[in-house]
Structure 1
Amino acid sequence: MTSTLFKLHRTLWWRTIKKNPTVLVSAGMILVYGLLSVLSMTVQVNSPEALHAPVALGMVAMLILSLAMPANEQHITQETFRTLPIDNLKPAMALSSLWTSRAMLTILFTIIWAGFGFTQLPVGQGIMFIVGSVMAAATTIIYIDVIAKVGSSRKEILGIVGGIGIIAMIFFAVNISSQDAMNMPLEDIGAIASWTPFAAATGWATGGIVKLLIAIATLALGAWLWWRDIEVSPVQTKERNKTDLRIPFVPNNPTGIEFARSIRYIFRDTRLLMSVLVLPIVVIVLMVQSVSQGIPEIAYTALVICGLLGGAMAVNDFGYDGPAMWLKMVSPVQQYRLILSRHWAHMIIPAAFQVLFAIVLVFLYDDTSTTILVGLVSLGVLMTSAALSLFLSAFNPYPVAPPGTSPWADKSGYSGAAFVAVFALMFLGWIPVAPGAALIIFFGQQVIGVLVALAIPAAIYIGIILVVKKTADDRMPVVYKKVGAWVR
């Protein structure tokens, strides 16, 4: 039975690969960058402690990827087979956990680094390092599998943690120049990491039974979580908690409820949440570059880019509604009221972030007048982005994948309509503010320039609101025909 189930997993896994080659592309990118990292760190190892740093960094990177971008390659689950008379799925599930792209990559990197570590240590310690590397690989694979099996009620929280981890990884990578990268303090990092669950498995090879106990405890905890998930899975039931949709200071009427519901749902839908996380990613990366290099223009550019990206979350509101849009079609409420409520709910976070970012820049740089000018112009860019998102949401809707779909299995983002939306925000969002910016930069007309940079986007925004308001009722059946089913 174990052999049959494992063959089933391999067959389904290969069908997934052929149906969605993005999985292979992502695995290829991890392979290339992983090998480059391994190669670059081999020339920096100057002590036994330095050998532990890549082990810790590799485990952290794999776990962050599993949190933020689950691969969903596991096809043998207890919940799927619970209605069949199969007594023990655990052996097949353990084998199938090894037959996934990230598990294979983990094993490959482990073999490479364990072999290198063996050559850098005395024979006895080298053997201990190989044993520890196997233990570290097993720990990584088990926790990747545990994360993949976490219930939907916790996936949103883990997605946020993974998103923050991705930001940290980008922050770390961008702010290390090529020269600094060749002088990373691997010895210091390894000495500290060897006392943590991320590198304790190899840390004991260079001394310390306590490190071995930490590694064993970490592996045992992962195995217990993995085992417990299988034992509990057949009796799990989906909880349906009722939530009060109202938000303080928001009117208790249909449009207010739609506004409040949309805000609450941002933090429950990782598809929308990842759109929000793009803004802090841009800000953190560019801000650190600006401060470290002493170039405020980089921060000003980040402020304008945030304005361009501000409408990304609201660019396809109807698509994210999907089949549920039928409820709005039959509700006794004017359609444009619901459209605007949802649109403004999705724009309030980018707008608040834009204002907060501008205020931070005012206190950060001495040239207050320039910072205020850029901040006001960026608000014009944000208004243009919001206007474009509202227009595209009504006239360029496209279906998306259902909630909870892995980014690697999401095929909805590759449509022509999605490309049009991204192109419109990135390449058209700055045009309405260009005349005002030209008055400020080339003619020194700061007051008039700011007024123009705000007035034109505001006029466009109001005009699009009127257009959408007028055509909303007539277009709803057409929109529903496009987005009434999820992309699978």
Structure 2
Amino acid sequence: MLKSMLRVQRTLWLRGLKENVSVVFMMVMFLIYGAGGAVALDMMMWSEIRSGHPEAIASALTVGLVAYLMMVVMVPAGENHLQPEDFIGHSISPRTLFRAHALTALMTSRGLTALLVTVITTVFISLAIPPMWIPLVLVMMALQLALVLASGELLGSVFATQKSRTSKERNVIISSLAVFAMLIIYNRVISQGTNQTELWPMGGVLQWTPLASAGGVIAGAVGGLWLEVVAQIVISVLALGLVCWAWQRSLARRLRAPLERSGTNEKDEIQADGASIFLRFVPKTPAGAIYSRAFRYFRRDPRLLNSMIGAPLIVTFFTYQSFTTDSDFQLYLALWMLSFLSCTIASNDFGFDGPACWMYIASGLRPRTIALARHWASMTIPTVMTLLYAVMAFFLARDKSIAVFVIPAGVLMLVVASALSQVASVFNAYPTAKPGTNPWQDKSGYSAGAFLTVFAAMFCCWIPLVPGVGLLAWAHHSGAVWASVSGWALMFILPAACWVLARHIAARHIDAHLLQIFAKVKSHV
């Protein structure tokens, strides 16, 4: 059975690489950035080891472990095809499933990246210490790689464990805040500059923790501290054993509690006695019902909740950066990020509805009415966030003469994002994971449609604003009145024209192709 499971994972993984270019692209990006980051960090580590501070090894290993865990949290597990929920009803023991997961941990983009980074770090350590200790380096780095992979799989399995709706929402919020905190810490460390930052002081502490005790073994051997070497070997072995035990327990729990059967102990159903589906102040029309239903659903679906949490976290991060760098650029960049996120959130409305789109077909409503109501529901929260942040950014900006036209341009970028997302929703609809799926287990982000939407949002949202902003910038420096008037006119007219044109194109397309859109999204991935 174990050989069959390994063959299934290998076959499906290779097939996914051949059929989905986006997976290959993601893998290449992971390898490039992982290798670049490893070389930069390992050069610092090598220099400190040569200076008589081998404790720097522990700091480098800790950074690698934390970075890998961040990848596990932020990147959907689209390449692992041996999900425990798929083996319900089969005579497969948790131990067999654990062995299969352990042996296939490298058959993912994350696993290959971890292997490449480990090899690079091993080479740098070997070049910095006496050759007699290279065999020990190979053994301890292999142990560290096993700990990294096992910790990542444990974390991914914990996040994939489906509980009640309340628990899923809480896990999404906690994980998003944790990722945000790690990004802040990482940014603060990097911003200090390599000349001011030393790895070895913190490494002296980290080498006594399970995070990097393998590095402490190498440092202790180089320094001749044999008692410390023995103690840190014990810590490393116990840490790996404990992580593997917890990982196997998590897989066993998922094998007993599949996704479809979870959450039955909690009353998540909405009591509809006398309650209306309509939001307050929303017209009592079919379009109002669609809008109200979609708007209410945002808070209840972790797939969407995670995106909503990301927006204020990103705004907070860039606002914080603007104070640390004494520049307004970060404030303006946050506006672009909000528009980008708004476009990605609202660009697959029918994909998020999935099989439920058959109700639109059966309702008899004009498809363009459905599309517009659904679109406004997706854009309401991002629009409110953008407007509130624009007001705050204007008051925080140091140079008001520039902020007076850059910030309105950032708000108008939201209009372009709305236009682009309307077109993407009807021309580039793609299936998503089941409603309620943990976002860290969502595989739909690997689809070619998702990548196409992301790149379109990144490179197209700002184009209609370039003429107006360019003229206003010229007027700011030269004082030309004609440039100021023309710039303001173009900055409002071009985004509005894009929205009207996109609305017309999207409406005509969905009126004629609603059935084809349903055929694309009728099954979840």
In the superposition, the TM-score normalised over structure 1's length comes to 0.76
Name structure 1 gaps, 5 residues minimum: none
Q: Which residue of 2 aligns with 1:17?
A: 17
Name structure 2 gaps, 5 residues minimum: 221-227, 434-440
Q: Which residue of 2 aligns with 1:413?
A: 450
Determine if the alignment matches structure 1 residue 165 to structure 2 residue 179: yes
Determine if the alignment matches structure 1 residue 151 to structure 2 residue 161: yes
Q: Calculate the aligned-residue CA RMSD, in Å.
A: 4.7
| Contact 2:368/2:510 (8 A) holds in 1 | no
Aligned-partner Cα distance in 1 for 2:277–2:198: 51
Aligned-partner Cα distance in 2 for 1:408–1:130: 36
1:85–1:476 Cα change, 3 Å: same
Once the two structures are superposed, residues 112-167 of structure 1 have per-residue CA deviations (whole angstroms, 9 ceiling, x without a partner) of: 43464466567998777655434332222112223443235577745983697379
Determine if the alignment matches structure 1 residue 191 to structure 2 residue 204: yes
Determine if the alignment matches structure 1 residue 69 to structure 2 residue 75: yes
* Alignment match of 1:402 (pick from 432, 438, 447): 432
Q: What is the 5 A alignment of 1:10-409? A: 10-40=10-40, 41-42=42-43, 43-46=46-49, 47-87=53-93, 89=96, 90-114=98-122, 116-117=124-125, 120=128, 132-149=140-157, 150-152=160-162, 157=171, 161=175, 165=179, 169=183, 172=186, 176=190, 180-181=193-194, 184-203=197-216, 206=220, 207=228, 215=236, 218-237=239-258, 238=260, 239=262, 241-243=268-270, 249=280, 251=282, 253=284, 255=287, 257-266=289-298, 268=301, 270=303, 273-274=306-307, 277=310, 281=314, 284=317, 288=321, 290-297=322-329, 299-300=331-332, 302-303=334-335, 306-307=338-339, 310-331=342-363, 338-368=370-400, 370-390=402-422, 392=423, 396-403=426-433, 405-406=442-443, 409=446
Shift of 1:263: 3.7
Shift of 1:30: 2.9
Shift of 1:481: 1.2
Aligned-partner Cα distance in 1 for 2:99–2:499: 62
Aligned-partner Cα distance in 1 for 2:288–2:464: 31
- Helix, strand or coil at the partner of 1:400: coil
Paired-residue identity, %: 23
Shift of 1:69: 0.9
What one-letter code is carried by the residue in structure 2 that aligns with 1:16?
Answer: G
- Helix, strand or coil at the partner of 1:13: helix
What one-letter code is carried by the residue in structure 2 that aligns with 1:95?
Answer: L
| Contact 2:419/2:503 (8 A) holds in 1 | no
Aligned-partner Cα distance in 2 for 1:465–1:99: 42
| Contact 1:435/1:452 (8 A) holds in 2 | no
Aligned-partner Cα distance in 1 for 2:393–2:280: 30
Shift of 1:50: 0.7
| Contact 1:311/1:385 (8 A) holds in 2 | yes
1:167–1:432 Cα change, 3 Å: farther
1:25–1:163 Cα change, 3 Å: farther
| Contact 1:44/1:183 (8 A) holds in 2 | no
Range that drifts further, 428-437 or 74-83: 428-437
1:182–1:464 Cα change, 3 Å: same
Shift of 1:342: 2.5
Aligned-partner Cα distance in 2 for 1:142–1:476: 50
